[in-house]
Amino acid sequence: VPGNSPGKAIVTCPATTVLTGGGFGAGSGGQLIVHGASGPWGTDGQWRAYATNSSGSAHMFQGRAVCLSLPVP
């Protein structure tokens, strides 16, 4: 996330999977304020998280999704 800016992390599960959970990670030493709680977004298989960086330097912010493979018929 650039310094003094909002940012978002969006992770999409592959088409043959179902989103079952997720989260986010942030680099150490940053001044990130996470808001808009991370969570699934509609039915499009995306996990989204939002943060604002209140420092003057860029900091890492990364989304993570847990995707479950569907059985093959």
Taking only the tens place, the pLDDT of each residue in 7-34 is 999 999 998 888 888 888 887 666 777 7
Residue 1: closest CA among 51, 68, 45: 51
pTM over 0.85: no
Residues linked to residue 15 through DSSP beta bridges, in sequence order: none
Q: Which of 73, 71, 72, 64 is nearest to 19 (CA)?
A: 64
* Residue 19 to residue 60: CA distance in whole angstroms: 23
Reported as a pLDDT band with limits 50, 70 and 90, residue 55 is confident
Identify the DSSP state of 57: S
Q: Comparing C-alpha atoms, which of 36, 35, 24, 29 is closest to residue 61? A: 24
